[in-house]
Structure 1
């Protein structure tokens, strides 16, 4: 509760919280319908969607890394965030005013991924603002901000489900997204701390872009980011296989998929908020290993229990394990580059890309060898191996 109170009363943390909850609302409005918009509405087909998805991932990571380094170089973090939010708003505006296949391609593959830079900048701001508060509260503050990103998934997605059930077109997500992006822009302009006028010290890094990139590519750092990517690959695999195992053949359907995903997301939020108080003082790498083990139970047993009533028990280890593996790595990654808050926050995008690539390899190999059960078990093995490698790398600490 003390971390929540700080996020409500500290102006910088309040601005970060408002921006991240609005971004979460945009992501959960567009993300689940990206595939159907690309494949069905605008006719790109499966291959076209795969190309758009790949371009989106590459540009998102590239923009996040560039934005993080640029923010550290200049200490103009508000300007970088404003540019990212403007890109997001422009994408929503174009799809509201002149929707079409090629406009959609530019928006989905370029403008919205550039807008994702905001995510890393929010956590960079949170980290710097948290330095003014007791050290014991910092992980709690990070957990609150991360939970605010997840909160719209619990609230907004059911609202969209009801709207679409009334026959409203899926492209209506764009005018709503435009309103949300406009609100983000207003918050950044009015509440985000002005560059050079913060109550904490924020000096330019003095590093060239090449030197900053080399710093991020150090073997000790890259290996840890890759290990965390492997941990989070299990989450990507879960999303990929759940609708493929909860099928009519086992007495399930899309309603069960929506309910299961909603329960997991809904429980993750309170678990995220409780974690800092319950686990204060525990080693982060051991926490990540424990979270990965809990999540592994859910992923491994999901294909096995999909047709059983026992499947609903899996939402508990899924939510608790997910709360740990989604929250704890944020502070861990930022500590890897403690003096570079922008670059440290951009490591989250690199970690996400690594996890997506690893999950794709597991999916391809698992389906080629056996089936969706094999995919789940491969994901579990990779996730636990990543968590174990992280513990081994940090054993001296």
Structure 2
């Protein structure tokens, strides 16, 4: 509750929370439907969507890493965040004014990925603001900010369910995204602390771009990022297949997709707020392993139960597992580069890249071998392998000793 109070009363944390909430609204409007837009609306097919997903991931992580390092070099985090939000506004504007396959590809493979810089910069801002409070509040603050990203799923996705049930085309998400992008621009311009404001110490790092990259590529850091990426891949696989599995063939449709994803994300919020208490008594890697196990159960059974009423029971393990695997890695990654909030936030993008590339490989291989059920199983296998590797790195004596060395 103290973390919630701080996020409501501290102007910088309040700005971070508002921008993160709006970004969550954008994400829940796009993420469940990008696969069906690519495959069904714009004719890219399964393999074409896998290519778009890979391009999206590469562009997203490149933008986030460059933006994070540049933010540390210059300490001009507000300006960099504005550029990211402008890219989102441009992409949604183009898709609203002139929707088509090539505009869709440009938006998905370049403009929306550039906007992902915002996610890392919000957490960088929150980490800087949290330095003014006792250290025990930090995990709670990060959990609240992450929960605010998930909160719109409770409201926005049920609304999309009603909109699609009324017969609106899936492309309606783009004009809605344009309105949200303008709201984000207003929030950053009016509420985000100005660069150079003496609220906390945020000096330029003085590191060259090459030196910053070399530090992020150290084996003890890169191995953990890849392992966490494998854990995250199950979430990307889920988002990629949920709208393709819930089809009229199993008496489902876009309205069911919106309701299901909204229930999962909505239930994640209260569990995310419980995370700080758990991290005080349970090692982070052990929590991540248990969370990955629960989330994998949900992903593995989704293709099996999609056409039955039992599918709605899966929202509980999905929410508990998702709350852990989406929240606990944030502080874990930030601690790997504790004195550089921008680069530390970029590690989340690298984790996402690793996860998305693994998920894209699972999607391409699974659809080639069998179908969406195989995609789910491959994603589950990758996620559990990553969770086991991360746990071993922190808990097996020989591995942990080599990591410290």
Structure 1, 366-375 or 194-203: larger mean CA deviation: 366-375
Given that residues 50 and 360 in structure 2 are in contact (C-alpha distance below 8 angstroms), is that contact kept between their aligned partners in structure 1? Answer: no
Q: In structure 2, the residue corresponding to 1:168 is in which secondary structure?
A: coil
Structure 1, 9-18 or 45-54: larger mean CA deviation: 45-54
- Give the direction of change, closer, same or farther, for the CA distance of 1:341–1:95 in structure 2 (3 Å limit): same
- Give the direction of change, closer, same or farther, for the CA distance of 1:294–1:102 in structure 2 (3 Å limit): closer
Distance in structure 2 (CA, Å) of the matches to 1:393 and 1:222: 12
Are 1:210 and 2:205 matched, yes or no? no
Given that residues 25 and 156 in structure 2 are in contact (C-alpha distance below 8 angstroms), is that contact kept between their aligned partners in structure 1? Answer: yes
CA shift for structure 1 position 100: 4.3
Distance in structure 1 (CA, Å) of the matches to 2:290 and 2:44: 41
Q: In structure 2, the residue corresponding to 1:182 is in which secondary structure?
A: helix
Distance in structure 2 (CA, Å) of the matches to 1:293 and 1:56: 27
Are 1:388 and 2:388 matched, yes or no? yes
Distance in structure 2 (CA, Å) of the matches to 1:101 and 1:237: 23
Given that residues 160 and 258 in structure 2 are in contact (C-alpha distance below 8 angstroms), is that contact kept between their aligned partners in structure 1? Answer: no
Distance in structure 2 (CA, Å) of the matches to 1:354 and 1:30: 21
Aligned to 2:261: 261
Are 1:66 and 2:28 matched, yes or no? no
Distance in structure 1 (CA, Å) of the matches to 2:391 and 2:14: 34
CA shift for structure 1 position 186: 1.4
Q: Residues 310-349 of structure 1: matches in 2 within 5 Å? A: 310-349=310-349
Distance in structure 1 (CA, Å) of the matches to 2:200 and 2:91: 34
Task: Give the CA RMSD over aligned residues.
Answer: 2.6
Aligned to 2:81: 81
Q: Deviations over 1:225-275 (max 9, x none)?
A: 0000111122223334445666677x6523655443332222111111122
Distance in structure 2 (CA, Å) of the matches to 1:165 and 1:225: 40
Distance in structure 2 (CA, Å) of the matches to 1:38 and 1:248: 18
Q: Deviations over 1:132-168 (max 9, x none)?
A: 1121111111111111111112211221232233343
- Give the direction of change, closer, same or farther, for the CA distance of 1:61–1:239 in structure 2 (3 Å limit): same
Aligned to 2:25: 25
Distance in structure 1 (CA, Å) of the matches to 2:304 and 2:284: 31
Structure 2 gaps of 5+ residues are: none
CA shift for structure 1 position 107: 2.5
Aligned to 1:120: 120
Structure 1, 259-268 or 228-237: larger mean CA deviation: 259-268
- How many residues align structurally? 396
- Give the direction of change, closer, same or farther, for the CA distance of 1:104–1:387 in structure 2 (3 Å limit): closer
Are 1:3 and 2:10 matched, yes or no? no
Structure 1 gaps of 5+ residues are: none
Aligned to 1:178: 178
Structure 1, 368-377 or 344-353: larger mean CA deviation: 368-377
Distance in structure 2 (CA, Å) of the matches to 1:171 and 1:192: 31
Distance in structure 2 (CA, Å) of the matches to 1:376 and 1:33: 17
CA shift for structure 1 position 96: 3.3
Aligned to 2:56: 56
Structure 1, 298-307 or 223-232: larger mean CA deviation: 298-307
